């Protein structure tokens, strides 16, 4: 299967280049960067200390046309434009970009009427499983106070993380609520006690932390914690390639990692 990677020079892009090189059933067909990027024209393998036999390119249309599955970990604006090109070219895609607004998610949903799209704020198998476990916990511990604490590297732009929001959404939905109605992102502006049913978020940004999430479900006399720690970006890259294998032959539609792992 031929894989093209968008944002190939980025942190995740480089993890994906290494993961594709290590997979027997995959070959790299394209490595996309922004126009004017200094790596343009050089062998994509150089970015991970190897040889890929594929030049780094800024020709999005050409890169998409040459792949079986397009894998995109870039930025919301780039992702929206690239997903439109995938839909026009009939190429399945895996999107790992986070920080998408509800409107941007709707636009992806529209593209997914023409092509199969996996959109996953966290492609780790462990995190996908923890979302599943959280739904059960949220239903059984229906009155527990929920707090979500996440930690990431100092370069991350969005907060709370897409994964923390996905966790909050899973818990709210399991309780028949909308996250928008119960989420608390800031306790500084208002001086008031915790509202029943609210879901609090806290974000740590420091050093090179790859990604940590801890959900506390706290009752009056006991506390359950469900947590996940990513030690290496490889987990996200390997999960994204698992999604690529799934999406290649899937019918048009919008999918997430639950679909990929058969946890629906």
For the chain, give percent helix, strand, coil, nearest 5. 40, 25, 40
| Residues 26-65, mask of contacts with ligand NAP (x by CB under 6 A) | ------xxx--x----------------------------
In the complex, least distance from residue 196 CB atom to ligand NAP, rounded to whole angstroms: 32
Q: What burial class does residue 244 get, using C-beta atoms within 10 Å of its C-beta: 0-12 exposed, 13-18 middle, 19+ buried?
A: buried
Smallest separation, CB 120 to ligand NAP (Å): 5
Parallel, antiparallel, or unpaired for β 93-95 and 69-72?
A: parallel
Give every CB contact of residue 29 below 8 A, 6+ residues apart in sequence. Answer: 2, 3, 4, 54, 63, 66, 67, 68
- Single out the segment in contact with ligand NAP by CB under 6 A; choices: 6-14, 47-55, 106-114, 167-175: 6-14
What character string, x for contact with ligand NAP (CB under 6 A) and - otherwise, covers 176-205? ------------------------------
Binding segment toward ligand NAP, per CB under 6 A, in 85-93, 107-115, 116-124, 199-207 = 116-124
- Using alpha carbons, select from 69, 28, 87 the residue that is nearest to residue 240: 69
Active site residues: 152, 156
- 56 versus 217: smaller Cβ distance to ligand NAP: 56
Which residue, 5 or 217, has its beta carbon nearer to ligand NAP? 5
Cα distance between residue 85 and residue 192, in whole Å: 48
Task: Please check whether residue 1 is in contact with residue 248, taking contact to mean a CB–CB distance below 8 angstroms.
Answer: yes
Which neighbouring-strand residues pair with 254? 117
Question: How far apart are CB 231 and ligand NAP at their closest, in Å?
Answer: 13
End-to-end CA gap in the chain: 26
CB-nearest residue to ligand NAP: 10
Which of 75, 87, 91, 259 lies at the binding interface for ligand NAP (CB under 6 A)? 75
70 binds ligand NAP (CB under 6 A): no
Q: CA angle, 12 as apex, 10 and 14 as ends, to 5°?
A: 65
Binding site for ligand NAP (CB under 6 A): 6-7, 9-13, 32-34, 37, 73-75, 78, 96-99, 120-124, 236
């Amino acid at each position: 299967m031929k894989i093209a990677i968008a944002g190939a020079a980025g942190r995740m892009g480089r993890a994906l280049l290494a993961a594709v090189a290590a997979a027997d059933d995959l070959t790299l067909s394209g490595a996309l960067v922004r126009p004017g990027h200094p790596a343009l024209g050089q062998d994509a393998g150089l970015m991970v200390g190897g040889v890929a036999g594929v030049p780094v390119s800024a020709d999005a249309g050409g890169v998409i046309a040459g792949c079986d599955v397009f894998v995109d970990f870039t930025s919301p604006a780039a992702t929206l434009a690239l997903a439109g090109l995938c839909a026009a070219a009939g190429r399945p895609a895996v999107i790992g970009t986070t920080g998408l607004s509800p409107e941007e998610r709707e636009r992806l949903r529209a593209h997914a009427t023409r092509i199969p799209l996996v959109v996953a704020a966290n492609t780790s198998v462990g995190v996908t499983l923890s979302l599943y476990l959280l739904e059960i916990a949220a239903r059984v511990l229906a009155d527990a106070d929920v707090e979500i604490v996440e930690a990431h590297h100092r370069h991350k732009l969005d907060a709370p993380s897409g994964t923390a929001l996905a966790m909050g959404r899973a818990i709210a939905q399991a309780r028949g609520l909308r996250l928008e109605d119960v989420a608390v992102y800031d306790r500084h502006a208002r001086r008031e006690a915790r509202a029943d049913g609210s879901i609090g978020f806290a974000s740590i940004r420091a050093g090179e932390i790859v990604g940590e999430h801890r959900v506390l479900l706290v009752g009056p006399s006991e506390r359950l914690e469900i947590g996940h720690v990513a030690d290496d970006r490889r987990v996200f890259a390997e999960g994204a390639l698992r999604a690529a294998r799934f999406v290649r032959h899937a019918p048009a539609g919008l999918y997430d990692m639950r679909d990929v792992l058969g946890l629906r």
